[in-house]
Amino acid sequence: MSSSFLKNTGKLLAGNSIGQLIGIIAIPIITRLYSVEAYGEFSSLLAISLILATLSTLSLHLAILIPKSEEEAIKVFKFSLSLTYVFCLLISAVLYFFNEDVVSLLNIKSTPLIVYSIPLLVLLQSVYVTVTYMGVRVKVFGKVSASKVVEGISDRGIAILSGFSGFAFVGNLILARVTSSALAILYLLPTLKRYQGQGKTSISNGFIVSKYKRYLQYNTPSMLLINSMLQLPVVIIAAYFSSASAGLFAIANRLVNIPVTALGSAISKTFMQKIAEDKANDDIEKIKQNTDVFFTVLFAFLLIPFSVLSVVADSLFIIVLGDKWADAGILASFLSYFAMSTLLVQAFGGLFDVMNKQQTRLIFHIGNFFVRIGALLLCVYLGYDLTKTVLIYAIASIFMNVIAMGLLLRCVQQIQSLLSALITNVIPLILFHVLTAIVSSSFDNILLRYSLISVLAIVWFFIIGGLGKIRGFKK
Digits of tens for pLDDT over the chain (475 positions)?
Answer: 455 655 666 666 666 667 767 777 888 888 888 888 888 999 999 999 999 998 898 888 888 887 877 888 888 888 899 999 999 999 999 998 888 888 888 888 877 888 999 999 999 999 999 998 888 887 777 788 888 888 888 998 999 988 887 777 888 999 999 999 999 999 988 877 766 555 566 677 777 777 777 777 777 887 788 788 888 999 999 988 988 899 999 999 888 887 777 677 667 766 776 777 776 677 677 777 777 777 877 887 888 889 989 988 888 888 888 888 889 999 999 999 999 998 888 888 877 877 777 778 778 888 999 999 999 999 999 999 999 999 999 999 999 999 999 998 888 788 888 888 888 888 888 999 999 989 888 888 888 888 988 888 888 888 777 666 666 555 5
Q: How far apart, in whole angstroms, are the C-alpha atoms of residue 274 and residue 297? A: 17
Neighbouring CB atoms inside 10 A of 122's CB total: 24
d(CA 78, CA 172): 31
Q: Would you call 322 helix, strand, or coil by DSSP?
A: coil
User: Nearest-CA neighbor of 221 among 66, 389, 359, 401?
Assistant: 359
The vertex-323 CA angle with 317 and 325, nearest 5°, equals 55
User: Is residue 196 helix, strand or coil?
Assistant: coil
Closest CA to 205 of 57, 83, 79: 79
Q: Which pLDDT value is given to residue 469? A: 61
**Distances in whole angstroms, Cα of residue 271 to Cα of each of 151, 279, 291:** 24, 12, 9
Closest CA to 246 of 257, 260, 259, 231: 231
pLDDT in the model for residue 222 = 74
- pLDDT score for 194: 66
Dihedral angle at the C-alpha atoms of 285, 288, 292, 295, nearest 10 degrees?
Answer: 140
Backbone angles phi, psi at 339, to 5 degrees: -65, -40
Q: Give the model's pLDDT for residue 267.
A: 72
Write down the pLDDT at residue 7. 66
pLDDT value at position 374?
A: 94
Would you state the pLDDT for residue 57?
A: 86
Long-range contacts of 8-13 (CB under 8 A, 24+ apart): 8/139, 8/141, 8/270, 8/273, 9/266, 9/267, 9/270, 9/271, 11/141, 11/142, 11/144, 11/145, 12/141, 12/144, 12/145, 12/265, 12/266, 12/269, 12/270, 13/145, 13/262, 13/263, 13/266, 13/267
At residue 202's C-alpha, the angle toward residues 196 and 207, to 5°, is 110
What is the rounded distance in angstroms from the CA atom of residue 188 to the CA atom of residue 192? 8
In angstroms, the CA 338 to CA 150 distance is 29
**Integer Cα distance of 119 and 49 in angstroms:** 7
Q: Please report the pLDDT score of residue 48 as a whole number.
A: 92
**Global confidence as pTM:** 0.76
Question: pLDDT at position 248, please?
Answer: 92
Integer-rounded Cα Rg, in Å, for the chain is: 22
Type of residue numbered 148: K
| Euclidean distance between CA atoms 344 and 212, whole angstroms | 26
Q: What is the pLDDT of residue 319?
A: 86
Query: Distance (Å, rounded) from C-alpha 346 to C-alpha 383?
Result: 32
Pair 1, 294: CB distance under 8 Å = yes
Distances (CA, A) of 60 to 20, 55, 66, 76, 128: 27, 10, 10, 7, 14
Question: CA-CA distances (angstroms) from residue 343 to 53, 219, 262?
Answer: 21, 19, 10
Instruction: List Cβ neighbours of 362 (8 Å cut-off, separation of 6 or more).
Output: 218, 221, 222, 225
pLDDT at 5: 58
Burial of 424 (0-12, 13-18, 19+ CB in 10 A): middle
